Amino acid sequence: MKKFETNAIRTQLEKSINREHSVPMYLTSSFVFEDAEHMRAMFADELEGNIYSRFTNPNTSEFIEKMCLLEGAEAGYATASGMAAIFASFMGLLKSGDHILAASSIFGSTHTVISKFLPKWGITFTYADINKPNTWEGLIKENTKMIFVETPSNPALDIIDLEWLGKLANKHNVILNVDNCFATPFIQQPIQFGAHLVTHSATKYIDGQGRVMGGIVLGTTELIKEIHTFCRSTGPSLSPFNAWTLSKSLETLAIRMERHSQNANTLASFLEKNENIEYVRYPFLESHPHYKIAKKQMSLGGGIVSFEIKGGISRGRKFLDALEMCSLTANLGDTRTIATHPASTTHAKLTEQERKDVGITPGLVRISVGLENSIDIVNDISQALEKSN
């Protein structure tokens, strides 16, 4: 069995008559048929192949095949964005009258979908506290169809024990859906621990350079078939160009995540000793409340560091304004280090109490640690801390 890096690099479409070494882009909206019978058989699903790029395309097929190998999944479907992937994983499998149990520590847009839009279609929800795992089983109802979690969570970096959660989901015959965006399959494979579905915003670390949007849902053949049916008709398809870019990006995912994690660990260790900081959250710091779980299911700590600056939101804003090298943007997983204030950006739609409940304090800053030299990253954050004092 080939290793992760080899699968990421060597999994490619068959060569065309042109004998290319790098896979070409198939920038076409549709595909032609040999004759009327071939066309009929394709639309009847009697033959496999490409019909229309909203359904499948060689570039998206290659990207999906790679991600299935890397995550250990049977099948997958690629979408135009990470939120499209999450939405498809809900709507392809849930119906009116179903209930979803979700961790309260989730991305702001995911919270909006679960709390605002799913109820419009008769799908109810309950939030569970990551720090109170003994309460989760009691929250599962007769109509609970799915458990949805992020681990590490965005932005507080809470960690959920996937092995425990996988056993809980199987005990109650519930679909376990895990957002693996922060860890990527190089650091963590939730399916190994019992997850039935894995979702990604490929816009983040999978691309890794802040260039294109994309998402993907991976899982069992049975579940992905339902999601594929939903997406084929509703159209959240990934463009061939973006699929080609993401597939090429996977070739460097392993070495990028190693460097992201190394730089993030260096920054987290520096911040933990800095007198201007109330606390630091990083999965591989021993001070992290879920450190032992992180070490059990993650091979590295990842590229995200969150911390609270002494002085709250006013000082936090001064800190952000004082940064000279780091970028201010809501994205993450870029080659460039990014600083974000979650309370006023990515999680602004949550109420103050909802943010407090999931550890998003007014002065919390999320750093997506890039691939620059770690000395330059630390120096920029250090000088900004001093100027904000």
Q: Give the CATH number for residue 322.
A: 3.90.1150.10
145 touches 153 (CB < 8 A): no
Instruction: Give the mean model confidence (pLDDT) for residues 201-220.
Output: 98
State yes or no: pLDDT of 311 exceeds 90: no
Examine the domain organization and report whether 39 and 87 are in the same domain.
yes
Q: What total number of domains does the chain contain?
A: 2
Q: At 45, is the secondary structure helix, strand, or coil? A: coil
What is the per-residue pLDDT for 67? Answer: 98
Domain-terminating residue out of 252, 282, 301: 252
State yes or no: pLDDT of 356 exceeds 80: no
State yes or no: pLDDT of 108 exceeds 90: no
pLDDT digits (tens, 9 = 90+) for 242-282: 999 999 999 999 999 999 999 999 999 999 999 999 999 99
Examine the domain organization and report whether 52 and 106 are in the same domain.
yes
Instruction: Give the mean model confidence (pLDDT) for residues 211-235.
Output: 97
Examine the domain organization and report whether 206 and 144 are in the same domain.
yes
Examine the domain organization and report whether 60 and 109 are in the same domain.
yes
Examine the domain organization and report whether 177 and 299 are in the same domain.
no
Name the residue range of residue 319's domain. 253-387
Helix locations, the chain, DSSP H: 4-10, 36-43, 58-71, 82-91, 108-112, 136-139, 162-171, 184-187, 221-234, 240-249, 253-272, 291-297, 312-322, 352-357, 374-387
Examine the domain organization and report whether 308 and 212 are in the same domain.
no
Instruction: Give the mean model confidence (pLDDT) for residues 216-235.
Output: 97
pLDDT digits (tens, 9 = 90+) for 1-22: 899 999 999 999 999 999 999 9
State yes or no: pLDDT of 343 exceeds 90: no
What is the per-residue pLDDT for 127? Answer: 97
What is the per-residue pLDDT for 354? Answer: 78
Domain-terminating residue out of 252, 280, 304: 252
Examine the domain organization and report whether 104 and 27 are in the same domain.
yes
Structure tokens at 153: 């969570």
What is the per-residue pLDDT for 316? Answer: 85
Domain-terminating residue out of 252, 267, 302: 252
What is the per-residue pLDDT for 204? Answer: 98
Examine the domain organization and report whether 89 and 189 are in the same domain.
yes
Examine the domain organization and report whether 244 and 258 are in the same domain.
no
Examine the domain organization and report whether 78 and 138 are in the same domain.
yes
Examine the domain organization and report whether 243 and 298 are in the same domain.
no
Written as one letter, the residue type at 83 is M
Instruction: Give the mean model confidence (pLDDT) for residues 206-210.
Output: 97
